């Protein structure tokens, strides 16, 4: 019988690719989505759409009913509704969870631990572990798709602002995260402990911008900005509190650089995708309206 899998966040960068990959590999896929009409336009036929919010325990409980595996994205409640639904299920529902998390400094050992983004991931890992279900935690580095924040600059004046342009990050293609999740959900041996994931190369902002310029054919430059100038720059698309939290993450990564690891290849049997490859596959988004998958 096909494995029955619930995918949360199925219209996002990781979840959309994961749902497609699982369906292609023969799984029965259920996706918990807020807007089924929108999801139906983004996802292939064959994926069962369950309507509900990831922070609503009743909706989550219904979505989990009958599935054998579940991919969990952390919402604003840091997994509390998922944990409540699993406790209420009293042993029924998924027997394995794959949690999309991120590395975070331990509290209170590091002042950076108080960052709200770090807190959410620590709390999410803890509350799902407390359910007693086997949980495989994925801790990827920064996504290659963060380059989408530069779309206005690429279409406009060609000047990309950064507070820490010299910060080198092994950015990872979200599709690689999804491929690792799919392999684990379908039975791959992930071994003990969290799976730390990275792309194949650490690149600073000028290096990534150079690749973006080469692929798109647009002349691009990088300008160092103060933290306050950057918060103002992104104010139209990011709440101030979230923008400042992102800068806090960057400050931490300057002190504790994310590792370069081969986990993607070890789990999937092929090398991790490059940042250049991600840009080539999404170049249309930077030049005109295009698909946002991955």
The structural domains of the chain, ordered by start, are 4-141+173-197+260-267 (3.40.50.720)
Token reading at 49: 């759409």
**% of residues, the chain, pLDDT over 70:** 98
Distance CA 86, CA 132 (A): 9
Backbone angles phi, psi at 44, to 5 degrees: -70, 155
Which residues pair with residue 32 across a beta bridge?
Answer: 8, 50
Q: What is the pLDDT of residue 293?
A: 60
Residue 289 has pLDDT above 80, yes or no: no
- Residue 218's contacts (CB-CB under 8 Å, 6 or more residues apart) are 154, 158, 212, 286, 287
Q: What is the pLDDT of residue 110?
A: 83
Residue 292: pLDDT band with limits 50, 70, 90: low
Q: Would you tell me how many other CB atoms lie within 10 Å of the CB of residue 79?
A: 29
Q: What's this model's pTM, rounded to 2 decimal places?
A: 0.94
Residue 247 has pLDDT above 70, yes or no: yes
Contact 124, 100 (CB under 8 A): no
Q: What is the pLDDT of residue 28?
A: 96
Residue 193 has pLDDT above 90, yes or no: no
Token reading at 55: 């922070």
- Reported as a single tens digit per residue, the pLDDT across 195-210 is 999 999 999 999 999 9
Over residues 100-125, the mean pLDDT reads: 89
Token reading at 87: 């406790």
- Reported as a single tens digit per residue, the pLDDT across 268-285 is 999 999 999 999 999 999
Residue 1 has pLDDT above 80, yes or no: no
- Reported as a single tens digit per residue, the pLDDT across 12-70 is 999 999 999 999 999 999 999 999 999 999 999 999 999 999 999 999 999 999 999 99
Q: Would you tell me how many other CB atoms lie within 10 Å of the CB of residue 55?
A: 15
Nearest alpha carbon to residue 195 among 100, 128, 104: 100
Residue at token pair 């690749």:
211
Q: What is the pLDDT of residue 170?
A: 97
Over residues 170-176, the mean pLDDT reads: 98
Q: What is the pLDDT of residue 288?
A: 79
Residue at token pair 């310029």:
213
Query: Is omega for the bond preceding 108 within 30 degrees of 0, making it cis?
Result: yes
Would you state the torsion angle of the CA atoms of residues 185, 78, 8, 88, taken in this order, to the nearest 10 degrees? 80
Q: What is the pLDDT of residue 27?
A: 96
Over residues 149-161, the mean pLDDT reads: 94
In the chain, the N- to C-terminal Cα span, in Å, equals 29
Q: Count how many residues are written for the chain.
A: 294
């Amino acid at each position: 019988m096909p494995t029955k899998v619930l995918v949360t966040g199925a219209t996002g960068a990781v979840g959309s690719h994961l749902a497609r990959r699982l369906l292609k590999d023969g799984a029965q896929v259920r996706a918990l989505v807020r807007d089924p009409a929108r999801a139906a336009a983004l996802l292939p036929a064959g994926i069962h759409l369950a309507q509900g919010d990831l922070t609503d325990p009743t909706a989550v409980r219904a979505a989990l009913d009958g599935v054998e595996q579940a991919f969990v994205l952390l919402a604003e409640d840091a997994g509390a509704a998922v944990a409540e639904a699993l406790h209420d299920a009293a042993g029924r529902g998924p027997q394995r969870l794959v949690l999309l998390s991120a590395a975070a400094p331990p509290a209170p050992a590091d002042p950076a631990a108080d960052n709200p983004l770090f807190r959410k991931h620590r709390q999410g890992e803890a509350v799902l572990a407390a359910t007693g279900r086997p949980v495989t935690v994925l801790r990827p580095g920064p996504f290659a798709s963060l380059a989408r924040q530069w779309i206005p600059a690429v279409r406009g004046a060609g000047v990309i602002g950064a507070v820490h342009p010299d910060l080198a990050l092994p950015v990872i293609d979200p599709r690689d995260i999804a491929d690792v999740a799919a392999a684990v959900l379908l039975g791959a041996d992930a071994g003990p402990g969290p799976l730390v994931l990275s792309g194949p190369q650490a690149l600073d902002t000028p290096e990534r911008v150079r690749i973006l310029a080469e692929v798109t054919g647009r002349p691009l430059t990088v300008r160092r900005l103060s933290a306050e100038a950057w918060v103002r720059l992104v104010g139209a698309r990011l709440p101030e509190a979230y923008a400042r939290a992102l800068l806090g993450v960057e400050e931490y990564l300057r002190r504790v650089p994310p590792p370069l690891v081969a986990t993607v290849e070890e789990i999937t049997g092929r090398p991790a995708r490059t940042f250049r490859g991600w840009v080539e596959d999404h170049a249309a988004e930077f030049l005109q309206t295009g698909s946002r998958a991955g």
